[in-house]
């Protein structure tokens, strides 16, 4: 049941109990990223991050596609190297970092195509469910460009260097079945059931211990670049915090009382 709905200029924000659903809403432009959508994404991600009632997030696109990448018309004239450099640092980077660092699980519900920077948005999500007719695409090399918006960082961590290079170098469309085989998506759903699957998954995650999931997310990201000793030390710090949490106490009591825990995300 939708409790609240806010329509931004280029994004719809819905809250269904503890799940926030962010729908990029430029279907006539295949949800290509322009200034309005970029600003709305930042605002919506910050809203979901800061709202204690939100314990899981879904990111999806209206219409046929998830996000087709940059809307070049939004740059106001020819795209120069300096314009691109500034935009990647000041706009794409912060959006992707918001998704990666938010201490709540984010499910990408991928419909149609996720290409270019749109592919980065998809890969930045913690979990992905793709419609069976959806695809990911890193088309940059097809026009002599380098993947951006964090794509190289994300791809290399998802599939390793060699496969990441192949995906970037060939610039081919990766259908959902191939993405599942490569580990680029967690699940594939029938196109008509995509949001039903995403909502059910996010609702389940929202009932899990949100604090612990958020800190697990941080630990896993650190572990990809840190030493074993540094990772263990970080885990110890996070575990100290979790042991003092209400959710930990509830989990222990539920175990002793042989019942399902009722976590509150604290």
Mean pLDDT of 88-97: 94
Please give the distance of CA 210 from its chain centroid, rounded to a whole number: 16
Q: Find the helix or strand (DSSP H, E) in which 216 lies.
A: helix 210-223
Question: Which tens digit of pLDDT belongs to each residue from 48-58?
Answer: 999 999 999 99
Say if CB 111 and CB 65 are below 8 A apart.
yes
Mean pLDDT of 70-96: 86
Distance in angstroms (rounded) separating the CA atoms of residues 163 and 19: 33
Predicted confidence (pLDDT) per residue in 166-199, tens digit = 999 999 999 999 999 999 999 999 999 999 999 9
Which positions ≥6 away from 257 have C-beta within 8 Å? none
pLDDT of residue 158: 95
Average pLDDT, integer, range 237-244: 93
The pLDDT, as a whole number, for residue 44 is 97
Q: What are 23-60's pLDDT values in tens digits?
A: 999 999 999 999 999 999 999 999 999 999 999 999 99
User: What is the mean predicted confidence (pLDDT) over 93-122?
Assistant: 96
Domain with CATH 1.10.12.10 in the chain: 210-256
Domain boundaries for CATH 3.90.226.10 within the chain: 4-206
Comparing CA positions, the residue from 109, 164, 174, 163 lying closest to residue 135 is 174
Mean pLDDT across 199-224: 95
On whether the CB atoms of residues 19 and 25 are closer than 8 A, the answer is: no
DSSP 72-114: GGGGSSS--HHHHHHHIIIIIHHHHHHHHH-SS-EEEEE-SEE
Average pLDDT, the chain: 93
- 59: closest CA among 88, 86, 20, 112? 20
Per DSSP, the three-state class of 249 is helix
Residue 119 confidence (pLDDT): 96
Quickly count: other Cβ atoms within 10 Å of residue 262's Cβ.
11
Query: What is the pLDDT at residue 1?
Result: 56
Task: Could you please state the CATH topology (level 3) that the domain comprising 210-256 is classified under.
Answer: Lyase 2-enoyl-coa Hydratase; Chain  A, domain 2 (1.10.12)
Cβ neighbours, 10 Å, residue 51:
13
CATH T-level fold of 4-206 = 2-enoyl-CoA Hydratase; Chain A, domain 1 (3.90.226)
Q: What are the pLDDT digits (tens) for 117-170? A: 999 999 999 999 999 999 999 999 999 999 999 999 999 999 999 999 999 999
pLDDT (mean) for 194-223: 95
CB of 51 closer than 8 Å to CB of 20: yes
User: pTM for this one?
Assistant: 0.92
């Amino acid at each position: 049941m939708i409790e609240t709905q806010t329509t931004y200029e280029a994004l719809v924000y819905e809250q269904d109990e503890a799940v926030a659903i962010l729908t990029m809403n430029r279907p006539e432009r295949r949800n290509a990223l322009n200034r309005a959508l970029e600003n709305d994404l930042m605002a919506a991600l910050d809203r979901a991050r800061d709202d204690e009632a939100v314990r899981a997030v879904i990111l999806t696109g209206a219409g046929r596609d998830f996000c087709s990448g940059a809307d070049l018309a939004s740059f106001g004239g020819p795209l120069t190297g300096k314009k691109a450099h500034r935009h990647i640092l000041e706009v794409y980077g912060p959006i992707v970092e918001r998704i990666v660092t938010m201490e709540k699980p984010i499910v990408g519900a991928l419909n149609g195509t996720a290409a270019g920077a749109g592919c980065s948005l998809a890969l930045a999500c913690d979990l992905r469910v793709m419609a069976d007719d959806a695809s990911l695409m890193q088309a940059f090399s097809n026009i002599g460009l380098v993947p951006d918006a964090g794509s190289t960082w994300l791809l290399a961590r998802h599939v390793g260097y060699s496969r990441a290079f192949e995906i970037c170098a060939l610039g081919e469309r990766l259908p959902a079945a191939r993405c599942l085989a490569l580990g680029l998506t967690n699940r594939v759903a029938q196109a008509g059931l995509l949001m039903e699957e995403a909502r059910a998954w996010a609702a389940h995650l929202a009932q899990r211990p949100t604090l612990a999931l958020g800190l697990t997310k941080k630990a896993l990201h650190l572990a990809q670049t840190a030493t074993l000793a540094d990772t263990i030390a970080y885990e110890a710090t996070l575990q100290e915090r979790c042991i003092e949490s209400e959710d930990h106490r509830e989990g222990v009591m539920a175990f002793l009382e042989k019942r399902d825990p009722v976590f509150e995300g604290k």
